[in-house]
């Protein structure tokens, strides 16, 4: 595995490759979720590039940029063992200058949900991915469904700007109790960790109420009661039921063929997100 | 010459080409200025793609989108005769959908000068060029110095977003009397046409005042008097002396190694722009 750190080096490498290239952009602190992306890329492309770059532009001023977990040596070994061709790990100075002024924003989708609480977050994501896509020029890029809003934003950006790249969705990888894998899970104390399953349990609870409730207002109200009752230490940020294409909220599940529940919550100051597609049982009579 | 109209067709063509590709994006109504871009691309690349697309996103609501000159048959013949490989002429529906929401903006440079009067104009330019660059994937793209602010914005966008494209500057082509060639010159009545040299004459007049004046305030004041006196029917929009890298105004010519004068003016309702690099005579003692 080659470890490259400059724009020039990744360009030089890329110019020599004529086979298909898969790309997995990450912020490091790799877990089984990332590795499932890498494995899928390895299966579908002759070469796989993984980037590790903790992107300062997608963190707000009061967020965890400085304490975000950095485990480069472990990450490197994991990727080497899987058979990755290139690990691209640029410095902040390689990716940004003080004169940077481009704003690249999905003006609607990036302001919904997480975007409403993490101002500018998704603009930082779309900016860094545009830079990385231009450097790596992959045929396919892999994103996890765990960050579902990010996935849709990337899909929409690629579609609107005609990037010659196929975005591949990879299902969320969960711990045995259902907690979605996340680099931020490492922030959880043992006590918080026991509560962290609250997100997945709440999302599953919503599914159990369908088709008894098809209106989303009572679904969300019941789910909030469930969360407060069962996980009193978890502080909900948002819980929404949306059309998974537009990410717009729906009032009634019949309004969309693909409803999905999205949520974000804090546990002892640690912010976690999760989401689940909702299904309407075929024998639903409502 | 192949005439292609869809994203799919230009992609298919591009995927088969392994030689260097030059690209000249235009809005049609081709004149000698455009043709000089095309000739340079033909000289430097194995294949040249020219696009003709009157981009609605770079026109304001009260601007000339609908009356912008469209001379497709003449343009096609000119390009065919020069030896262009591909003319890409997509429809508006091929380039945009009602769901498009990406904003791509140079937040500083795009708000200066023309950007201050034509709100959103350069955001429309950077958006359409990003789409075209992704479709055509050229090695080099050619832009005229006549639209100098546009040229700098494109250079900055390519630099910041790491597009793997070299932007090539091509000097302004002028009519015998000095009027910069522009598709919008066709709007000029014979009477206006006689006045239209005002822009170039005013820019040249500034040069004659250097190094007598090195402060830009008196330079601009004298140039405005010259314009009012000699061309009373010309309505100045702006006249600025800037650093040609940043496009920021300078107070004294010694502040920049590359000063340039930029101006925009209306003649009987027709908006024209021009610019000129300023030189400081080597024996200047001030």
Q: Which residues of B are less than 8 Å from A131 in CB distance? A: 160-162
Same domain, B28 and B108: yes
For B51, the token pair is 């696009």
pLDDT at B209: 98
Same domain, B199 and B140: no
- B11 and A164 within 8 Å at the Cβ level: the answer is yes
Query: Structural domain tally of chain B?
Result: 2
Is B118 contained in some domain?
yes
Same domain, A15 and A140: yes
Domain at A56, CATH number? 3.40.50.620
pLDDT digits (tens, 9 = 90+) for A105-151: 999 999 999 999 999 999 999 999 999 999 999 999 999 999 999 99
Is A175 contained in some domain?
no
Catalytic option among B31, B34, B252, B258: B34
Closest residue to B163, CB basis, from A106, A134, A162: A134
| Mutation target vs B (from A14, A51, A95, A104; most B CBs, 10 A cutoff) | A104
pLDDT at A284: 53
How many Å lie between the alpha carbon of B128 and the closest alpha carbon of chain A?
A: 8
pLDDT digits (tens, 9 = 90+) for B143-174: 999 999 999 999 999 999 999 999 999 999 99
A34 is catalytic: yes
Q: Which of B62, B89, B61 is nearest to B75 (CA)?
A: B89
d(CA A190, CA B199): 73
How many Å lie between the alpha carbon of A189 and the closest alpha carbon of chain B?
A: 40
How many Å lie between the alpha carbon of A112 and the closest alpha carbon of chain B?
A: 13
Same domain, B52 and B114: yes
Q: Which of B52, B58, B42 is nearest to B140 (CA)?
A: B42
Is A176 contained in some domain?
no
Is B286 contained in some domain?
no
Calculate what percentage of chain B has a pLDDT beyond 70.
Answer: 99
State yes or no: pLDDT of B93 exceeds 50.
yes
For B72, the token pair is 């497709």
How many Å lie between the alpha carbon of A174 and the closest alpha carbon of chain B?
A: 33
Is A88 contained in some domain?
yes
Same domain, B110 and B159: yes
Q: Which residues of B are less than 8 Å from A97 in CB distance? A: 160
Same domain, A6 and A55: yes
Is B228 contained in some domain?
yes
**Mean pLDDT in residue range A174-195:** 97
For A42, the token pair is 């390895």
- B134 and A161 within 8 Å at the Cβ level: the answer is yes
Closest residue to B131, CB basis, from A105, A131, A162: A162
What pTM does this model have? 0.97
State yes or no: pLDDT of B286 exceeds 50.
no
Q: Confidence class of residue A282 from pLDDT cuts 50, 70 and 90?
A: confident
Same domain, B193 and B54: no
Nearest CA in chain A to B108: A101
Q: Which residues of A are less than 8 Å from B105 in CB distance? A: 102-103
d(CA A218, CA A204): 15
Closest residue to B104, CB basis, from A97, A104, A108: A104
Same domain, B160 and B221: no
φ, ψ dihedrals at B48, nearest 5°: -125, 130
Q: Which residues of B are less than 8 Å from A105 in CB distance? A: 102-103
Burial class (CB in 10 A: 0-12, 13-18, 19+), B82: middle
Is A69 contained in some domain?
yes
Q: Which of B83, B86, B67, B75 is nearest to B13 (CA)?
A: B86
pLDDT digits (tens, 9 = 90+) for A139-163: 999 999 999 999 999 999 999 999 9
How many Å lie between the alpha carbon of A236 and the closest alpha carbon of chain B?
A: 29
- Tokens 């991915």 label which residue? A129
- Alpha helices (H) along chain B: 7-16, 32-44, 72-82, 92-95, 114-117, 121-136, 148-160, 190-195, 198-208, 216-230
* Boundary of a domain, candidates B170, B193, B223: B170
State yes or no: pLDDT of A285 exceeds 90.
no
Same domain, A136 and A246: no
**Which residues of A touch chain B, with CB atoms under 8 Å apart?**
7, 11, 97, 100-109, 130-131, 134-135, 137, 156-157, 160-164
Q: Which of A172, A165, A173 is nearest to A23 (CA)?
A: A165
Q: Confidence class of residue A286 from pLDDT cuts 50, 70 and 90?
A: very low
Is A286 contained in some domain?
no
Q: Confidence class of residue B285 from pLDDT cuts 50, 70 and 90?
A: low
Same domain, A204 and A111: no
Closest residue to B103, CB basis, from A103, A134, A162: A103
Q: Which residues of A are less than 8 Å from B156 in CB distance? A: 101-102
Same domain, B19 and B153: yes
Q: Which of B155, B148, B159 is nearest to B115 (CA)?
A: B148
Q: Report which DSSP code applies to A264.
A: E
Size of interface A-B (CB pairs under 8 A): 68
Domain membership of residue B11 as a residue range: 2-170
Same domain, A163 and A188: no
* Boundary of a domain, candidates A105, A138, A170: A170
Catalytic option among A34, A66, A134, A258: A34
Q: Which residues of B are less than 8 Å from A16 in CB distance? A: none
* Boundary of a domain, candidates A117, A142, A170: A170
pLDDT digits (tens, 9 = 90+) for A217-243: 999 999 999 999 999 999 999 999 999
pLDDT at A213: 97
Query: Which residues lie closer than 8 Å to B263 by C-beta, 6 or more apart?
Result: B199, B202, B203, B236, B237, B238, B239, B240, B273, B274, B275
Q: Which residues of A are less than 8 Å from B131 in CB distance? A: 160-162
- B162 and A135 within 8 Å at the Cβ level: the answer is yes
Q: Report which secondary-structure segment, H or E, holds A116.
A: helix A114-117
């Amino acid at each position: 595995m080659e470890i490259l750190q400059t724009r020039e080096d990744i360009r030089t490498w890329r110019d020599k490759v004529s086979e298909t290239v898969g790309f997995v952009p990450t912020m490091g602190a790799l877990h089984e979720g990332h590795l499932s992306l890498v494995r899928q890329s390895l299966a579908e492309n002759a070469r796989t590039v993984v980037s590790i770059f903790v992107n300062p532009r997608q963190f707000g001023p009061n967020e965890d940029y400085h304490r975000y977990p950095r485990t480069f040596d472990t990450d490197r070994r994991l990727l080497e063992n899987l058979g990755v061709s290139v690990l691209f790990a640029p410095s902040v100075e390689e990716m940004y200058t003080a004169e940077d002024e481009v704003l690249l924003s999905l003006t609607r989708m990036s302001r919904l949900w997480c975007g409403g609480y993490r101002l500018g977050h998704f603009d930082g994501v779309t900016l860094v991915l545009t830079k990385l896509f231009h450097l790596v020029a992959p045929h396919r890029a892999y994103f996890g469904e765990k960050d579902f809003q990010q996935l849709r934003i990337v899909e929409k950006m690629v579609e609107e700007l005609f990037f010659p790249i196929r975005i591949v969705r990879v299902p969320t990888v969960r711990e045995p109790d259902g907690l979605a894998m996340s680099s931020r899970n490492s922030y959880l104390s043992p006590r918080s960790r026991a509560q962290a399953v609250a997100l997945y349990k709440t999302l599953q609870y919503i599914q159990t109420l369908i088709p008894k409730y098809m209106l989303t207002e009572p679904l969300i109200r019941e789910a909030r009661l469930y969360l407060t009752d069962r996980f009193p230490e978890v502080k909900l940020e948002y819980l929404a039921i949306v059309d998974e294409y537009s990410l717009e909220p729906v009032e009634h599940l019949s309004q969309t063929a693909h409803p999905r529940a999205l949520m974000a919550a804090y546990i002892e100051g640690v912010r976690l997100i999760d989401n689940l597609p909702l299904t309407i049982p075929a024998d639903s009579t409502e």
